[in-house]
Amino acid sequence: MSDIRVLIAEDQALMRDGLRTILELEEGFAVVGTAVDGEEAVALALRLQPDIVLMDVQMPRLDGVQATARLASALPRTRVIILTTFDYDAYVFEGIKAGAQGYLLKDTPAPELLATIRQVHGGESIVQPSVAMRLISEFSRGGSQPQPEGEPLSEREREILRLIGDGRSNREIGQELALAEGTVKNYVSTILDKLHANNRAHAARLARERGLI
């Protein structure tokens, strides 16, 4: 049986190298590439077409949720496992909605990580019990209900939202629109408040759903 081809997307070198070492020491796995941000992860995945992408949820340029959404659309056979430092955050919902098939904490023991990769590669969807219980609790409180539409956005806010949807950072948006980075940050905060969004990825998804970008 051929090796499971894995792409690692992680901006922290120590974590990235650790994951690579774990996989390379285990029979049946092949690390085909590593990425340091979401944009590079998408580009490498499109070129290498791995079986599995281990996707850090918080990365520069393009976060793991946005990168997962792009891969789910472009490479339906590539399966994504999201890695996070926290046992629960807003990215849980967004990652699953974006198309991730697994969700693991970064302190997961190596045997469990390897087992999860095998299971996801085999067609299963895996969420750690601690995360799953919080998901169930959130849904029971109505967390799956649609968010309110929020306040109307100004033309400038829509412009910035479009750039957020393209995966631009605050600095890149500032350079594009000739605005100070602090000013962009304030705009982003206002946009999140108006859309009732949990984060930038959530705001971009809501904007697409509502035809704002």
Task: Provide the residue ranges of all domains of the chain, joining segments of one domain with +.
Answer: 4-140, 155-209
Q: What is the pLDDT of residue 148?
A: 46
Q: Across the chain, where does the E strand assignment appear?
A: 4-9, 29-35, 52-56, 79-84, 102-105, 126-127
Close Cβ partners of 173 (under 8 Å, ≥ 6 residues apart): 160, 163, 164, 179, 184
| Whole-number Å distance between alpha carbons of 200 and 164 | 7
Close Cβ partners of 102 (under 8 Å, ≥ 6 residues apart): 79, 80, 81, 82, 116, 117, 119, 120, 125, 126, 127
Q: What is the pLDDT of residue 27?
A: 94
Q: CATH topology for 155-209?
A: Arc Repressor Mutant, subunit A (1.10.10)
CATH of 4-140, one of 3.20.10.10, 3.40.50.2300, 3.40.190.10, 3.40.50.10330: 3.40.50.2300
Q: What is the pLDDT of residue 144?
A: 45
Q: What SS3 class is residue 51? A: coil
Task: Tell me if 153 sits within 8 A of 161, measured CB to CB.
Answer: yes
Task: Quote the tokens at residue 21.
Answer: 């070492």
Residues of the chain falling short of pLDDT 50: 88, 143-148
Cα angle for residues 109, 112, 117 (degrees, 5° grid): 125
Look up the pTM and report it.
0.64
- Among 74, 72, 41, CA closest to 58: 41
Q: What is the pLDDT of residue 77?
A: 92
Q: What is the pLDDT of residue 32?
A: 97
